[in-house]
Each structure stands twice: as structure tokens, then as C-alpha cells.
């Protein structure tokens, strides 16, 4: 069994002070829209009327998936280690955006199907060389579930101990939209047809095949466990249809929340990681800031299920944490207006009657 988490919801004592400070700025009530909500959320989490996210860190978890053998991705599995190297060499989208915004990037191997050379930006927490093909057998063992989640816990601790006050998570793994869709179907009971999307660019026939593989995999898992998927524990679901990097992200989110540190949820796959984390401890949701609504069709449905208001909608479908880092300047702006913007009183401006 994986680590047990104790997550307290942010204390409400500061809420009145925060709201009064937000409302007292030189603007009509609510005029900064979602920025006001972000400022309020960060203030609650950090228990201060001057929240700070200047020490953000991006952590990208990478792993491979045995179900790729079923032809559910346009790209071969060799792309995962190739893209990891692209991250490390500074050539990926998330790499250049992190450089633009002066956010340190760390890439964590939790299950890439290749031996990776050491690199200063690479964390080696490999659980196995890819999960197993969950259309044929359980994706991983109970021990591997615990190792994957612990990898995320350790990475969150490493970042927070180093002074990070906002964590952003991303992922890389060929086939992980299929894994995420399968986990989403099991977690909230939508159909595989609704949860399966184009991923890296599948056509309609490819999406239909992906949905069939998801249905086949869940039927296999129900027979293997002797339970319908709605009755599965988080542990059982992870063993049967999980992905190493998705579980690692969930572990990082849970540990961030346990340590009262806000984190940014990227796109569809990262949102599924949060959905899984929420099944473990519901209060984890209080610490999540949603970066964007992606192009993946199930993401809108999932955001609605989570009652989430994403900051951006740019039709992204890249993953990597790219949406999270693009949202970061706006999250910083939420803190800056709360700290530096004049109040009606300080500016000598007449308030509304």
C-alpha cells in the first residue's frame, strides 16, 4: 500500500481579510475576474494577504506504457526517451517557456523504456522499463504503485525543501492519453467513447480503436479483480490501469497539498492525475490551480466534473506542462496586484457608494 496522506483544507480565518483587501483595490468589485479568485486561493493556501509565487518550479514526470503495443498511438515508444533528451537539452516547448519565465525545470524518469544517461536536470526514480500492457494483464504490482507515488512525494519534498512556493507538473509518455482516458472512465464512470480522444493526432478510426482497447482493458480488470470498476479502491485502479508518471504526478500533488503548497494542473493527463489524487484525499483539490482547457475532448468534461475554472483556453494538446508554464505569468500577476495595486484609501480615490 502506498503512503498515507493527511491533508488539511486551508484555514478560513484569513478569508475576510483577503476579500476586503481584494475589494478595496482601485477597481470596480470583481473587475479583475479570475485573477481575483487566484489571489484569494493563494492567500488562503499560504495564509497571508501577500501571497508569493516567485519561486516556482516545473517537474515533468516521464514513463512508457505497455498498452502502446495495441496500436493506440501514432508515435512509437522510442519517442519518449528522445523527447526526454529534448527537454534536457532545452529544445522542448516546456523547456523554452521555463527559460523565458526563469522557472527551473526538472525531468524525472519513473518508467522510460530506455536507460538514460545522467544529466543535472534529470531525476532517476525509475520504477520499471514501462508498465505492462493492461489490455492483457495488470499494469503494475502493488509495490510499483507505491514506488510511483513515492517518486512524486520525494520530488515535491525536494522542490519545497529547496524553497519552491508553487509547483507545476507536466508529463511525457507515448500512449499516456489512452492510459488517462482509461483511468478517467474507471474513476467517474463515463464511457470509453467519451473519454478517448485524438491524443497526438489519431483519426476517427484510431480514436474508435483506442476506445475499444479501453473497454477491453476495463473488462479484463473487472474479471481479474472480481469487482466492477466503480467499486475499485485507488490502489486497485492504479494496479490495473495506472501509469507510472500519472501516479507520480498524483503523489507530488498530494504531498504538495499536505505541505500546504499550491500546484498548477496542466492539461488532460495532469487533470486525471488530480482526479486520482482526489480519490485518495478529497482535500487535495483545494490546492490546485487549473492552467488551461486543452484540445482533448474529454478534458472539458473532466474540468466540469472537478468544478474547475481554467485560466487559459488556447486549444493546446501538447502536454509537457506547457499550459502550466504559460499560465504562470497570470498567476504571478494575481499576487502582484494584491501586493502592489493601490487601495481606494491609499490612492485617495473615491469608492463606489
Active site residues: 320
Residue 64, phi then psi, degrees to nearest 5: -110, 170
Helices and strands in the chain: count of H runs, count of E runs: 14, 6
Compute the distance between CA of residue 349 and CA of residue 280 in angstroms, rounded to an integer: 49
Residue 208, phi then psi, degrees to nearest 5: -60, -40
Task: Return the ∠ at Cα 81 (arms to 326 and 272), rounded to 5°.
Answer: 50
* Cell 488517462 found at: 180
Compute the distance between CA of residue 73 and CA of residue 225 in angstroms, rounded to an integer: 27
Contacts of 161 (CB under 8 A, 6+ apart): none
Q: Are 280 and 5 in contact (CB under 8 A)?
A: yes
Distance of CA 226 to the CA centre of its chain: 30
Contacts of 62 (CB under 8 A, 6+ apart): 80, 83, 84, 107, 108, 109, 110, 111, 112, 171, 172, 173, 245
Strands in 69-224 per DSSP E: 105-111, 122-124, 166-172
Q: Which is it for the CA torsion 242, 278, 95, 71, positive or negative?
A: positive
Amino acid at each position: 500500500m502506498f503512503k498515507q496522506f493527511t491533508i488539511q483544507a486551508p484555514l478560513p480565518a484569513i478569508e475576510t481579510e483577503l476579500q476586503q483587501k481584494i475589494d478595496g483595490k482601485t477597481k470596480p468589485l470583481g473587475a479583475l475576474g479570475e485573477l481575483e479568485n487566484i489571489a484569494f486561493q493563494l492567500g488562503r493556501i499560504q495564509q497571508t494577504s501577500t501571497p508569493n509565487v516567485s519561486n516556482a518550479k516545473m517537474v515533468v514526470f516521464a514513463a512508457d506504457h505497455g498498452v502502446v503495443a495495441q496500436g493506440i498511438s501514432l508515435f512509437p515508444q522510442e519517442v519518449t526517451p528522445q523527447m526526454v533528451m529534448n527537454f534536457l537539452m532545452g529544445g522542448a516547448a516546456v523547456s523554452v517557456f521555463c527559460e523565458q519565465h526563469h522557472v527551473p525545470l526538472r525531468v524525472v524518469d519513473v518508467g522510460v523504456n530506455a536507460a538514460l544517461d545522467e544529466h543535472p536536470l534529470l531525476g532517476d526514480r525509475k520504477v520499471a522499463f514501462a508498465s505492462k500492457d493492461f489490455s492483457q494483464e495488470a499494469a503494475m504490482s502493488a509495490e510499483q504503485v507505491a514506488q510511483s507515488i513515492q517518486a512524486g512525494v520525494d520530488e515535491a519534498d525536494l522542490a519545497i525543501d529547496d524553497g519552491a512556493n508553487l509547483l507545476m507538473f507536466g508529463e511525457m509518455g507515448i500512449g499516456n492519453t489512452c492510459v488517462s482516458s482509461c483511468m478517467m472512465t474507471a474513476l467517474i464512470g463515463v464511457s470509453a467513447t467519451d473519454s478517448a480522444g485524438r491524443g497526438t493526432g489519431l483519426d476517427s478510426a484510431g480514436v474508435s480503436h483506442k476506445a475499444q482497447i479501453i473497454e477491453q482493458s476495463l473488462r479484463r480488470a473487472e474479471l481479474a479483480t472480481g469487482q466492477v470498476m466503480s467499486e475499485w479502491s485507488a490502489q486497485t485502479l492504479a494496479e490495473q490501469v495506472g501509469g507510472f508518471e500519472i501516479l507520480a504526478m498524483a503523489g507530488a500533488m498530494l504531498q504538495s497539498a499536505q505541505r500546504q503548497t499550491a500546484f498548477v494542473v496542466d492539461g488532460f493527463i495532469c487533470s486525471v492525475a488530480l482526479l486520482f489524487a482526489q480519490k485518495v484525499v478529497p482535500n487535495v483539490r483545494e490546492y490546485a490551480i487549473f492552467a488551461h482547457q486543452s484540445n482533448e475532448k474529454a478534458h472539458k468534461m473532466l474540468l466540469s466534473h472537478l468544478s474547475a475554472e481554467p485560466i487559459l483556453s488556447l486549444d493546446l494538446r501538447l502536454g509537457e506542462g506547457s499550459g502550466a508554464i504559460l499560465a504562470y505569468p497570470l498567476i504571478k500577476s494575481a499576487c502582484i496586484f494584491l501586493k502592489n495595486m493601490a487601495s481606494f484609501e491609499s490612492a485617495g480615490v473615491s469608492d463606489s457608494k
